[in-house]
Chain A
Amino acid sequence: MNEYDVAIIGGGVIGTSLARELCRYRLKIALLEKEEELAFGVSKSNSGIIHPGTQNPPHSLKGRLCVQGNILARHQSRELGFDFKEVGELIVAFNEEEVSRLVRLKKEAELLKVPKLAIVGRSWLRKKEPNLSEEAIAALYAPTAGIVSPYRWVYDLSENAVKNGAEVFTLTKVENIILTHSTMLRVNPEQAKRVEGLTEQSAPPNKPRFEIHTTKGVFKARYVVNAAGLFEDKISRMVGIDYFEITPRKGEEFLLDKKRQYLTNHLLFPLPGKTSKGVLIIRTSDGNPMIGPTAEDIADKEDLSTSDDGLKKVLDSARKMVPSIDENDIIAYFAGLRPVASSSGLGTPSRGDSLRSSDISSSVAGDDFIIRHEDKVPGFVNVAGIQSPGLTSAPAIALMVADILKDHGLSLKKKLFFHGHRRKTVHLFAVSSRDAKKIIKKDSRYGDIVCRCEMISAGEVKDAIKQGAKTLDGIKFRTRAQAGRCHGTFCTTRLMKILAEDTGRPLTGVTKRGRGSEIVKGKRD
């Protein structure tokens, strides 16, 4: 029976965070994702930064949820077994005017209770960031910034959610949402009466209010949470809520060879610009330095192309901070799209709409998260415009949405057994030699190296497939196989064979990221 208490649309970090949170309670949860795997949308291009909370307006949802999320992310890394590295962040100033902006940023961040902030000077910077440009005169140091692997977090969340009873559906694209009778009563009583002759009294309680029509059939749910990233506006319009629009803002990122991993010690930020935090220099969870992103509003929600122009912009900005950055160290590049929400001018939220935060006005201007129960469509919650610091805020957003649902009638009864912990994924080269030996002796597949550059074994690849990888990208995101310096030249054939075998499809059916991206076009037969 496809009837659920809550249907979550969108399987990125927000959707999976919420699914896992709601699994603490005795609820039937469905997570609907249109791509072949989770985290194949906005979350896949995330840099993985866990922000300390700086650079957010003091009374914003973003600020509050980011600070809360920073703490919760650490808890989750221990519970779910993914790596969280506290690396600290430096917002760097190059002149006195910028220093005064730093002072303002520090004050604002302190209002949000971002801990341990300090303004550091030249000698501190020389010592702790030797490759930072000599022109840097000061920086705002926020020690609580961290780095994670965004997609491994998503996969660990979803694995845990599924273990606790959530149902995850991929290749399930929402095409239409139909309001069932009881909802229609509130939205359009006249029409409801005409259609079914229903009245408020005759509406059955606790029945699904939504019929979600997808490419994989119909799902019925009492509550729907829209966490569909770039397509939030499309989903929201399906139920007649159209006061915001999502514009993709492209960011191109460039990865450097791991040999340069000691380029920086902290996450380096310039002072924020109008539309983005600027070009950063960070070290990702996998150990590669990364420079970027750009910030360019575009029209096509599926345009993930990179450009020569983008490369030049990023290099110029990055070299201002770390002059020794060499173009020849770049080993990979990609683009991501931020889902920026802006008012579509078609309707404004009424003052009667409930919202936890006291600041409604900024929420539609594209500056803050939109996290609200849409009173016009009871049971429907929008979680839109989740750009930076969206990843960091995800666990806090999950709690906030759970509260919103509770406030609107969802009964949250705790399960007797909630398995909050997850065993850490085996990564052979993250453990000591002695432990690696034990692992290999116990299970010979861990001694069978498939990816030469990152030293990933067949055992790890098979674990990833068990965790839900169905594509080469899915394996790459979970294990790092194909993410090394040879970009899959060595391991692709072997990975294809393992995937084909373990997922029961022919070699010609193995894809990069889902149907349409098959690796080969034919075979001899």
Chain B
Amino acid sequence: MIEKDLVVVGGGPAGMAAAISAFEAGVEDILLLERDQYLGGILNQCIHTGFGIDYFKEVLTGPEYADRFVKKIRSISQIEISLRTFVVRLTRDKVLTYLKPGVMQEIKAKAIIMATGCREKTREMAHIAGTRPAGIFSAGLAQKLINIEGLLPGNEVVIVGSGDIGLIMARRFLLEGAKVKAVVEIQKKTRGLMRNVVQCIEDFDIPLYFSHKISKIYGKDRVEAVDVVKVDDNFNEIADSKFRIDCDTVLVSVGLIPENELIEMAGVLIDKKTNSPVSKEVNKTSIPGLFVCGNSFKVYDVVDSVSRDSVLAGRLAAEYIKSVCNGPKDSGRR
């Protein structure tokens, strides 16, 4: 069985910051596992600006922010990076099993930092009645299709949810030539930043409906229309307020869920409501030496907070490794 001082699961902004921080705190035997074929995580598809205002005091796009960490991590030879690598199992003894093309491998780590990010809530979780045609996307998937694959998911879009991702995607679709018919928000006000309401909705005169929800999706093979209805303070439908919007695409942007199924498998206590690990101290879990950072620990509003959180996790992991053995490997380093 291969042994490592520290294994970091996830090569997005959280994982990279955590690995670099652990190295700077003295750990010299680090393996970072990333499932995609490049580092950067979700930032690669967040091509808009707004990143790094706090952390770097600059206005950067997602890929530019990620690039700062990629360049840094590539310069540290003590951090081994394995791409196209997928962790499939984790035990409470901190044994990880991962898969990559041609390889299935177990590793025992002294400390593990999980930086696996979030998944999106989907249409199914929003309980929208109607049919199941093509043309219904989570906002993140639509973003990936446009910004990574150069594909246009649809021409006439209705967006459910006015969080930042929904707002950003409203602008994104418009810039690509699609019509954005409406953004529908069940709450009384936006969940996203006001700056995004300005530069994504107001700039383009996109109709934004508060206290409304989509009650039905129509369309056999492709989305054809949606019913929109007003809701009261208890989110119940208000009679006679229904109207229909013709569209061919529905974007669902109704929330993020931390991806913690692996640590749950290992026996870590998880808060059922938030899907985050239950912990008295930030980044720690109920298993000593197993840390969680970034959005999989807590859904942060901005990536700058993710970086700070992950730096802390890296230090905690280094501390832990020092405390459980006679120090990290290769401690000839000054």
Contacts and interface: CB of A to CB of B under 8 A. Distances in A.
* A and B, direct touch (CB closer than 8 Å): yes
Interface of A: 302, 304-308, 310-311, 330-334, 429, 433, 436-437, 440-441, 444-445, 447-449, 452, 455, 457, 485-490, 492-493, 507-508, 511-524
Contacts of A508: 151
Contacts of A523: 149-152
A489 B101 contact: no
B132 A304 contact: yes
Interface of A is mostly: mixed
Nearest to A326: B272
Contacts of B218: 305
B212 interface: no
Given A441-B104, A508-B151, A521-B154, 10 more contacts: A305-B130, A308-B129, A433-B97, A436-B104, A447-B102, A487-B124, A488-B141, A493-B141, A522-B151, A524-B151
A489 B155 contact: no
B190 interface: no
A523 B138 CA distance: 19
Nearest to A516: B221
Given A493-B145, A517-B222, A512 B124 contact: no
B274 interface: no
Contacts of A448: 84, 99-101
B88 A521 contact: no
Contacts of B154: 520-521
A447 to B, nearest CB: 5
A514 B221 CA distance: 8
Interface of B: 35, 84, 86, 88, 97, 99-104, 119-120, 122-125, 127, 129-134, 138, 140-141, 144-145, 148-155, 215-216, 218, 220-222, 248-249
A306 B129 contact: yes
A341 to B, nearest CB: 24
B140 A331 contact: no
Contacts of A440: 99, 102-104
Contact of A517 (B122, B134, B138): B134
B101 A445 contact: yes
23 contacts: A304-B131, A305-B129, A305-B218, A306-B129, A308-B127, A308-B215, A330-B124, A331-B124, A433-B97, A440-B102, A441-B102, A444-B101, A444-B102, A445-B101, A449-B88, A489-B120, A489-B140, A514-B221, A517-B133, A521-B152, A521-B248, A524-B150, A524-B152
Given A302-B220, A493-B148, A512-B134, A311 B99 contact: no
A433 B150 contact: no
Nearest to B102: A444
A302 B224 CA distance: 15
Given A452-B86, A512-B221, A521 B153 contact: yes
Contacts of A302: 220
Please provide the 5 A-B residue pairs with the shortest distance between their CB atoms, ordered closest to farther.
A444-B102, A516-B221, A517-B134, A517-B221, A512-B134
Given A490-B119, A493-B144, A493-B149, A518 B129 contact: no
A37 to B, nearest CB: 14
Contacts of B215: 308
Given A490-B119, A512-B134, A447 B140 contact: no
Contact of A334 (B99, B132, B248): B132
Contacts of B99: 440, 447-449, 457
A437 B124 contact: no
A492 B97 contact: no
